[in-house]
Structure 1
Amino acid sequence: MGSQSTKIVSASKMASSQDVQQFIKQAISQDKVVVFSKSYCPYCDMAKEVFRKVKQPIKVYELDERDDGAAIQENLATVTGFRTVPQVFINGNCVGGGSDVKALHASGKLEPMLIG
């Protein structure tokens, strides 16, 4: 009987993981720039500051302020291949984290990505 309850738990976990992945896909498709962040993270602040400088509106999901934040972060690893934050998406594509966004801006490659 114990193995049956284990199957039920893993099945519900799988459904919730699919729900979270669906949420991520929907979130990154709804806004031009989406940042999965933690409110206390200096690299997250670095990424958000770059977008403030270029006056680009962004949608920020502060994972430490959400009940499902840990699940989102786990599922981001499945989507992008890394767990760290921030995870920055432009036009639905992950461009990396804070240092990556700062480097894109410094090299002049960020603004063209934001046009269109």
Structure 2
Amino acid sequence: MAKVEIYTKAWCGYCARAKALLESKGIAFEEYDITMGGPKRDEMLDRAHGGTTVPQIFIDGSHVGGSDDLSALNRDGKLDAMLGL
């Protein structure tokens, strides 16, 4: 199964939607809460090539994008293969 990482903030509806999609597929993920900033926020900015919105999602180290991007992959039938399902 793929390693999934997601950078989130508290009270973020898009974050909740992305996590719910992953959970509906039974996918475990590592969540990094960057609500208060800190080194994980800087890490996200670097890994997401300056992307400042949340969530920022990575599957096996590859940047997927945000919640809409994750949903589009699912809608197009590409997400399951990326997740190793």
TM-score (norm 2): 0.84
Aligned match of 1:62: 33
What is the number of equivalent residue pairs in this alignment? 83
Aligned match of 2:61: 92
* Larger proportion of strand: 2
The Cα RMSD (Å) is: 1.8
- State which structure, 1 or 2, has the greater radius of gyration over its C-alpha atoms: 1
Structure number with higher relative contact order (C-alpha < 8 Å, ≥ 6 residues apart)? 2
Q: Which runs of 5+ in 1 are unaligned?
A: 1-30
TM-score (norm 1): 0.64
Which amino acid counterpart does residue 101 of structure 1 have in structure 2?
L
Q: Distance in 2 between matches of 1:61 and 1:79?
A: 13
Q: Distance in 2 between matches of 1:55 and 1:104?
A: 16
Identity %: 34
Aligned match of 1:8: none
**Which 4+ runs in 1 deviate beyond 3 A?**
none
* Larger proportion of helix: 1
